[in-house]
Amino acid sequence: MYYRLGMAFDRKTLVIPDQTKFEEKTIIAKGDVIIGDRCLIQFGVKTEGRIFVGEHVIIDGNLEATKDIRADIFSSIGGNVKSGGNVYLGEKVKVKGKLSLKGDLDVGDSVEITNGFEAQGWINIRSPIPMIIYVFIYLVQLLKMGHSEEIDRILEELEENNGETIPISEIFLFIPNNSIIGLQKSRVDSDVRIGKKSVIIGNYDIKGDVIITDDCIINGTIKSTGNTFFGKNVDVQGNIEAVGEIKIDEKSKIVGNISGGKIYLSKKASVQGMLFAKDGVSFTDPSVLEAEEKVNRFESNLGIVDEVNNILE
């Protein structure tokens, strides 16, 4: 059994990049942070990049970014908002702390900032008609004029734009729509990928596959409806449960019970708990797996690129 460490990004996967740290009240990230619609985040967020907050999002803590911060309509931030760039707050956004920024401030209708704000740039307070109203009025006029082909073209463009990718940094943290990231309980409706040397707090209920890469610390339980992979030197303080297969690589330490369809456990891994496997437990040898992987890569010509790179280095 093999797991690829790469997982396709489909805008539904929870992506936590390398070296992300969950502290008691704050998530510390390095790149852009994108939070989808209708999420509940029981932490604050601090990053060296930008922060994008979707619609109807609840964030219990502070937001702090060295660059821009954008919060969409009806979202609520429970603490302070601090930006080294510009801040954009959509209609009816609530900031329950203080807002401070070094750039321009652009706010929509009925925005509430409890403890006031400090902005060093321009301030623009707007009360716009939502774009959907403009589109609706335009379509009504086209219907009156009998331009059905033009209507079809506009609807196709709107559908294409709806799936447009967001230009974000190469390193990013992405929380998909309807997710809960909590101190005690977290829920994600799709796959999860956690980057190297990250520290995660919370108990996760995941409807999909889980990839936790090398040198991570997980303080909580992992429950998955798919397959679960733990890289090298991963420390888990909690139980692991998966409907599918579970693979635990060498030098990883699990303090808790493990339950899955089939469990692949490295001989150099440590488990302080019980193993429950519907389809049995296999103890793997890293050297054997590495040899088999090289054979598979050679057969598929994947190893050639690596050999060339080694020569160039």
Asked if residue 280 is part of any domain, the answer here is yes
pLDDT of residue 136: 56
Are 154 and 211 in the same domain? no
Asked if residue 59 is part of any domain, the answer here is no
Statement: residue 153 has pLDDT above 80: no
Tens digits of per-residue pLDDT, 194-216? Answer: 999 999 999 999 999 999 999 99
Asked if residue 158 is part of any domain, the answer here is yes
Going by C-alpha positions, the residue among 191, 235, 201 that lies closest to residue 216 is 235
State how far Cα 12 lies from the chain centre: 8
Asked if residue 137 is part of any domain, the answer here is yes
Asked if residue 121 is part of any domain, the answer here is no
Tens digits of per-residue pLDDT, 98-138? Answer: 999 999 999 988 899 999 888 888 877 765 445 455 555 55
CA–CA distance, 109 with 83 (Å, rounded to integer): 21
Are 188 and 155 in the same domain? no
Tens digits of per-residue pLDDT, 1-14? Answer: 333 444 445 678 99
Are 196 and 156 in the same domain? no
% the chain with pLDDT above 90: 64
Asked if residue 55 is part of any domain, the answer here is no
Statement: residue 309 has pLDDT above 70: no
pLDDT of residue 215: 97
- Report the predicted TM-score, pTM, of the whole model to 2 decimal places: 0.78
pLDDT of residue 144: 58
Q: Give the residue-averaged pLDDT of 52-81.
A: 95
Asked if residue 260 is part of any domain, the answer here is yes
pLDDT of residue 164: 47
Q: Which residues of 286-309 are buried (b: 16+ CB within 10 A; e: fewer)?
A: eeebeeeeeeeeeeeeeeeeeeee
Q: Which residues of 6-38 are buried (b: 16+ CB within 10 A; e: fewer)?
A: ebeeeebbbbbbbebbbeeebbbbbbbbbbbbb
Are 196 and 267 in the same domain? yes
pLDDT of residue 123: 78
pLDDT of residue 16: 96
164 to 60, 160, 215: CA distances (angstroms): 29, 7, 34
Are 150 and 200 in the same domain? no
Domain count, the chain: 2
Are 147 and 231 in the same domain? no
Tens digits of per-residue pLDDT, 247-286? Answer: 999 999 999 999 999 999 999 999 999 999 999 999 987 6
Are 225 and 259 in the same domain? yes
pLDDT of residue 310: 46
CA–CA distance, 48 with 304 (Å, rounded to integer): 37
| pLDDT higher at 301 or 124 | 124
**Which domain range does residue 145 map to?**
131-162
pLDDT of residue 290: 57
pLDDT of residue 311: 37
> Amino acid identity of 16?
I
Statement: residue 26 has pLDDT above 50: yes
Asked if residue 77 is part of any domain, the answer here is no
State how far Cα 228 lies from the chain centre: 17
> Amino acid identity of 190?
S
Mean pLDDT of the chain: 83
Q: Give the residue-averaged pLDDT of 44-65.
A: 96
Are 189 and 247 in the same domain? yes
pLDDT of residue 308: 35
Are 153 and 188 in the same domain? no
